[in-house]
């Protein structure tokens, strides 16, 4: 299926690994021009070199998304280089386990890592998306609707993103800018693997989690998340906005006791 993304300029925050990497790869396959915004130069450059060698157009900007000035400079540089911005994917974030027993400064730091840059990048890109009639896709989390325990900062950030997706969809209707959210649950990313391996009984814990995923009793892949993200960013989703879509094998909403 041709998604009509050829030459579309698409910013992907946290695009060097995990779900972000999968999004970048599919955007490139569809002929778009993905722009990776990430703090990990080694991973970002490696991915870009691989995709460029395959004939795709990729660019990389290394920055700390928590620094508003750095975000401002990067967005301006992108516009100066490409002339427009068509797609913004707010993907960057990490489940950092900042809970109620941590100091307030740690909670604020968690919001900076997971929420503040979403607001910053959206605010900076909206004037250009208004011109291109572009779109935004936010990456949320099932934690925003189910809770998880021991992750107050991340839950607050993803809860805010969940609410802001609808708020901004309303706010941007007259500008012709669509905005949607994709919510993963149990997705096998490098960070998830790292979390499993950090536990002495990690493999047993993984088996328990997988057994509770209704569809196929398996983890969601980053590419399955990315497929939905790229579809929502395309012209094939031209009348979809304000939607919060779970790509999770039924984990969030179906009875996990299903056998």
How far, in Å, CA of 73 to CA of 142, rounded? Answer: 32
Burial class (CB in 10 A: 0-12, 13-18, 19+), 63: middle
Which pair of tokens denotes residue 116? 């503040």
131 is catalytic: no
> Is 80:35 a contact under the CB 8 Å cutoff?
no
Q: List phi, psi (to 5°) of 97.
A: 60, 35
Q: List phi, psi (to 5°) of 110.
A: -65, -40
Strand arrangement, sheet containing 59-62: 59-62, 33-38, 9-13, 87-90, 135-139, 178-184, 244-247
User: Of these residues, 82, 131, 154, 251, which one is catalytic?
Assistant: 154
How far, in Å, CA of 84 to CA of 222, rounded? Answer: 28
How far, in Å, CA of 153 to CA of 215, rounded? Answer: 29
Strands (E), the chain: 9-13, 33-38, 59-62, 87-90, 135-139, 178-184, 244-247
Catalytic residues: 154
């Amino acid at each position: 299926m041709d998604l009509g993304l050829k030459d579309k300029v698409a910013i992907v925050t946290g695009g060097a690994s995990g779900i972000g990497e999968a999004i970048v790869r599919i955007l490139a396959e569809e002929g778009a021009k993905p722009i990776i915004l990430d703090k990990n130069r080694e991973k970002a450059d490696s991915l870009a070199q691989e995709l460029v060698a395959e004939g795709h157009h990729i660019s990389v900007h290394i920055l700390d998304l928590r620094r508003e000035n750095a975000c401002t400079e990067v967005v301006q540089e992108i516009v100066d280089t490409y002339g427009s911005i068509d797609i913004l994917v707010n993907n960057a974030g990490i489940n950092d386990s900042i809970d109620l027993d941590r100091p307030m400064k740690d909670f604020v730091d968690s919001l900076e890592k997971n929420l503040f840059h979403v607001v910053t990048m959206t605010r900076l890109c909206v004037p250009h998306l208004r011109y291109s009639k572009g779109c935004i896709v936010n990456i949320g989390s099932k934690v925003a609707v189910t809770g998880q325990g021991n992750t107050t900062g991340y839950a607050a950030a993803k809860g805010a993103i969940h609410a802001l997706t609808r708020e901004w969809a309303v706010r941007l209707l007259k500008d012709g800018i669509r905005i949607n959210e994709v919510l993963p649950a149990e997705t096998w990313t490098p960070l998830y693997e790292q979390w499993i391996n950090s536990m002495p009984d990690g493999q047993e814990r993984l088996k328990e989690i997988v057994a509770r995923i209704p569809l196929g009793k398996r983890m969601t892949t980053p590419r399955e998340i990315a497929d939905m993200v790229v579809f929502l960013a395309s012209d094939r989703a031209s009348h979809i906005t304000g939607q919060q879509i779970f790509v999770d094998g039924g984990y969030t909403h179906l009875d996990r006791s299903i056998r």
